[in-house]
Amino acid sequence: MEKFMDFKEYLAKISRYEQALSLIYWDLETYAPENSVNYRSEVLGELSERHYNLFVSDTIAEYLDYFSQENIFNSFCEQDKALIKVTKKEFEKIKKIPVKLVRKLAQTTTKANHAWKKAKECDNFNLFQPYLEEILVLNKEKADILGYENNRYDALLDLYEPNLKTTEISKINEYLKENLTPFLNKLLEDGEKPQDDFYKQNFDFNKQKQLSLEALKFMNFDFNSGRLDISVHPFTTKIGPRDVRITTKYSPLDLRYSLFSTIHECGHALYELNIPEAFFETPLDEGASMAIHESQSRFWENFIGRSFPFWNFFSPILKAILNSFEGLSIESLYKGVNIVERSLLRTEADEVTYNFHIMLRYEIEEALINDRITTKELPLIWNDKMKEYLGIVPPNDSLGVLQDVHWSNGSFGYFPSYMLGNLYAAQFNSKLKQDVPDYSLELEKGNATSILTWLKENIHQYGKMYEPQELIYKVTGETLNPKYFVDYITNKYTEIYNI
Amino acid sequence: MEKFMDFKEYLAKISRYEQALSLIYWDLETYAPENSVNYRSEVLGELSERHYNLFVSDTIAEYLDYFSQENIFNSFCEQDKALIKVTKKEFEKIKKIPVKLVRKLAQTTTKANHAWKKAKECDNFNLFQPYLEEILVLNKEKADILGYENNRYDALLDLYEPNLKTTEISKINEYLKENLTPFLNKLLEDGEKPQDDFYKQNFDFNKQKQLSLEALKFMNFDFNSGRLDISVHPFTTKIGPRDVRITTKYSPLDLRYSLFSTIHECGHALYELNIPEAFFETPLDEGASMAIHESQSRFWENFIGRSFPFWNFFSPILKAILNSFEGLSIESLYKGVNIVERSLLRTEADEVTYNFHIMLRYEIEEALINDRITTKELPLIWNDKMKEYLGIVPPNDSLGVLQDVHWSNGSFGYFPSYMLGNLYAAQFNSKLKQDVPDYSLELEKGNATSILTWLKENIHQYGKMYEPQELIYKVTGETLNPKYFVDYITNKYTEIYNI
């Protein structure tokens, strides 16, 4: 149908602005000289506005109205139907939010981000609190505009994890708390904590880079369609079709940081790189949701990168590149990347404790959005919850309530995606083990082909065609079930900690 | 005046598209993964079209009409007058050329560039000739549309060097030929050619990079407003205000290549970086012309970088970084970067022979555009002229008529800028010596401050305010005069070659 081709060409036009914007963002985080930042922001503003105007337009509205007519819609194949649905959902969501609010949010978060950095630096929550308050007010306004049935937080959650409700997250939280809290306590009281001092050295950055490159080679990362660079915080960005760039950071304190960051980001990258050409430059050319995306990065980082079979393969490579660790067994190296600790920082948390960090953030966000607590109370509430869930209290707010950038960026509703990513990953992993029973044997030989193929066929190839709940059901035959995660954690760490 | 502020804001909007485009070009030449190129071209196309539509618009036409009214125009300061004039000239030039022709040229040059690469690789001019023919036809059409008084080539020349006529270039050529040909012959027959074998080694690329960085430090290149990267062909690109990026290439065959490329490109960069903030994001925020730009890069590369005082300062640094050249005197190192040879390639030509390479290209271009010769005859004509001007004949077309990329890019009228750049540089240098008599003494100490200040005050600070001929007159009190170049060359090389 010619009209549908025109529609796709118009979507491609919109996508080209996204590609330019992505490149500018990537450049700002990697190579842009310091003094260019203010002027570059104006370029971002200009292209973003143009992008917005192309998308929230009568042109798109007309296309969508036309293609949504029942008899016409039904004539499309599944993929084209998905394209229409996904575009429509996005269009209606963005259209609802007044430009004035978008601008106000942008202005406020720019200031808030600045204030947050300062507050963190000076360990002074009060410097950030007024901005956080303003962001909260705007987010509540946004949630009310977007609409919800039972819980205002649902509206924000839906921005990151479509159709998942607050009640569902709360249920998951309870299940995890119930099952993981006693396990964590047992682990730390009765278990044998492995050694990991050997990782905490200042290894030459070139050698760390070589290690990252070896990990990427193992993962089949295609350097003709991507890059590895350095940035302050590791990230993945899809510039456009066949160009997905990841970054890492080499730490002088801990070898594990860069290696697992690289593997994590490459997990994101493989997802984007495996989306089929037919979806290029359309809204289907991305992951199903933030959480499904995170399931891919966490799968590679933890389920593969922190697995024994992988270390069986990777240990000799590691030893050769570092020209070190001679006396250490594969088991020691493996156990050393699986240390469980009551720690202060989310980004440094292990697999077992990670979700607790999310739960407390989720509970705080949800209570803020529903006016049950105030921003002024946050430091106290944060510390109470840290004590309750993790058994430690931050010595200061910089290492506590001020640690994450998200709220200063206006991202309320985002945190649960991290937790959900872990749960999805465990559920996918369980199905993968059923479908490819000997994947561990291949892994031991450094062969990831079966895994890659499975991920591609079951998840990656669909891009954004399916909503997360549809996808997990399609792949595993059931809806999201936190049991898989709990089973995985208890099995793995019972063995490692010898309890 | 509020309307004038609106006009400038509209120009800034246009500039933001240029900035995005520049970043995409830079990325394509430096870091973009191979497979992304085709999709990225579409992004370039989309943003270029938008840029074109914003510039060739009723909005701009109305602003220009309004501000050009005599009583209004006269109320502006010199700088604002220049902004109106420059914008108007650019607008009228671009408006004249039909979109159809622009597109046709873009399509043809894309194919031609591909064909040129292949032709050069296979040493087969016939593979390129049909495309060159097509480009020539389109360039003639473009020249006719742009208009001219006496010579069709004037119209193309004006695109790169405003208001300079073909007759003027021809006169300059005759003068240079008359004075430099006998000098070159004498030099090569009677002179003592210095040694330079020591430069022709495979020096570690990291050391070459360190040398480049030292040269940039000496030139006061500001890394907070720019970068140094690597590309196949060294280039300079202004991404936007306070962001000017240069590239170099480290050669395993010759140490001089990367060093002088870096200095050359930094000469371009300093020009752009010294344009005042008041011009940012307007058409005045660039150099006066291609040739004036080239005068800056050549000034630093040759008049400074290949001068004795500079080598007096730089030799110890060079020796320390390379940990080599111990027995070589400053004089040997200096003379080794000033070798004169009858060589085949323009890009590798020395100061004395360089302009001959341009003359033959200019003569060929001018004759082609005026239908006095045909593209089919080019290899023969090229070789004849090489014999006449440089005394050597290329062994094949790859090293002859196929060596430069310019024609495949559709750039007819560009080559003279390189020659003019040398001449402007000599004339500026002569004036600089008068104004700052002891600049050599400062140079010897590695201090370039007086030079930088002079260039900034006399040239850089004006951006594109003045046309090249106005500028040279303003700075030196006379119009372009090739005598300065001939004097410089004969003095310098009489001494080096001891004739």
Q: pLDDT tens for residues A209-225?
A: 999 999 999 999 999 99
Report whether B67 contacts B7 (CB < 8 A).
yes
Only one residue has tokens 């149908």, namely: A1
CA distance B227 to chain A (A): 7
Q: Give residue-wise pLDDT tens across range B179-193.
A: 999 999 999 999 999
Q: d(Cα A455, Cα A446) in Å, to the nearest integer?
A: 17
Q: Which residues contact A386 (CB under 8 A, 6 or more apart)?
A: A344, A360, A392, A393, A394, A400
Bridge partner list, B192: none
CA distance A229 to chain B (A): 10
Is A13–B46 a contact, with Cβ atoms under 8 angstroms apart?
yes
Integer CA distances (angstroms), B494 to A197, B53, B340, in order:
69, 55, 12
Is A240–B31 a contact, with Cβ atoms under 8 angstroms apart?
no
Mutate to test the interface with B, among A22, A216, A231, A243 (most CBs of B within 10 A): A243
Q: Give residue-wise pLDDT tens across range B444-481.
A: 999 999 999 999 999 999 999 999 999 999 999 999 99
Residues of A in contact with B222 (CB under 8 A): 35
Is B42–A239 a contact, with Cβ atoms under 8 angstroms apart?
no
Q: Which residues of B touch A (CB under 8 A)?
A: 12-13, 16-17, 19-20, 23-24, 27, 31-36, 39-40, 42-43, 46-47, 50, 222-227, 229, 239-243, 245, 280-281
Taken as a whole, chain A contains a residue count of: 499
Is B43–A16 a contact, with Cβ atoms under 8 angstroms apart?
yes
Only one residue has tokens 């809806």, namely: A479
Residues of A in contact with B16 (CB under 8 A): 42-43, 46-47
The predicted complex's ipTM stands at 0.94
Q: Is the dihedral of CA A146, A150, A151, A156 positive or negative?
A: negative
Region B292-297: mean pLDDT is 98
What average pLDDT does chain B have? 97
Low-confidence ranges of chain A (pLDDT < 70): none
CATH 1.10.1370.30 maps onto chain A at 108-499
Classify domain B135-499 at the CATH class level: mainly alpha
Closest CA to B55 of B23, B110, B102: B102
> For the CA atoms of chain B, what is the radius of gyration?
23
Q: d(Cα B388, Cα B139) in Å, to the nearest integer?
A: 28
Q: d(Cα A412, Cα A240) in Å, to the nearest integer?
A: 27
Q: d(Cα A360, Cα A389) in Å, to the nearest integer?
A: 8
Give A320-325 contacts, CB < 8 A, sequence gap 24+: A321/A207, A321/A210, A321/A211, A321/A214, A322/A203, A322/A207, A322/A211, A322/A255, A324/A203, A325/A198
pLDDT for position B280 = 98
Integer CA distances (angstroms), B375 to A311, B123, B126, B151, B370, in order:
64, 16, 10, 19, 12
Region B341-369: mean pLDDT is 97
Q: Checking DSSP bridges between strand A226-230 and strand A243-248, what pairing results, if any?
A: parallel
pLDDT level of residue B140 (50, 70, 90 thresholds): very high
Does the domain at residues A108-499 carry the CATH identifier 1.20.210.10? no
Check the annotation: does A51 bind a ligand.
Answer: no
Q: Give residue-wise pLDDT tens across range B357-399.
A: 999 999 999 999 999 999 999 999 999 999 999 999 999 999 9
Report whether A416 contacts A291 (CB < 8 A).
yes
Report whether B239 contacts B23 (CB < 8 A).
yes
Q: d(Cα A417, Cα A298) in Å, to the nearest integer?
A: 12
Side-chain half-sphere CA neighbours of B482 within 13 A: 16
Check the annotation: does B495 bind a ligand.
Answer: no
Q: d(Cα B262, Cα B349) in Å, to the nearest integer?
A: 17
- For chain A, the 3-state helix, strand and coil shares in percent, each to the nearest 5, are 70, 5, 30
Report whether B36 contacts A243 (CB < 8 A).
yes
Mutate to test the interface with A, among B43, B50, B223 (most CBs of A within 10 A): B43
Only one residue has tokens 């798109």, namely: A60
Residues of A in contact with B35 (CB under 8 A): 222, 224-225, 242-243
Is B225–A31 a contact, with Cβ atoms under 8 angstroms apart?
no
pLDDT for position B1 = 82
- Residues of B serving a catalytic function are 265
Is A240–B46 a contact, with Cβ atoms under 8 angstroms apart?
no
Closest CA to B389 of B322, B342, B449: B342
Residues of A in contact with B223 (CB under 8 A): 33
Percent pLDDT > 70 in chain B is: 100
CA distance B24 to chain A (A): 7
Report whether A300 contacts A266 (CB < 8 A).
yes
Q: d(Cα B481, Cα B420) in Å, to the nearest integer?
A: 10
Q: d(Cα A3, Cα B381) in Å, to the nearest integer?
A: 54
User: Which run of H or E residues covers position B223?
Assistant: none
Neighbours of B323 (CB within 10 A): 9
Q: Which residues contact A377 (CB under 8 A, 6 or more apart)?
A: none
Q: d(Cα B496, Cα B499) in Å, to the nearest integer?
A: 8
Q: Does pLDDT of B171 surpass 90?
A: yes
Q: Checking DSSP bridges between strand B243-248 and strand B236-240, what pairing results, if any?
A: antiparallel
| 3-state class (DSSP) for residue A325 | coil
pLDDT for position A156 = 97
CATH 1.10.1370.30 maps onto chain B at 135-499
CA distance B34 to chain A (A): 5
Q: Which residues contact A45 (CB under 8 A, 6 or more apart)?
A: none
Q: d(Cα A123, Cα A46) in Å, to the nearest integer?
A: 35
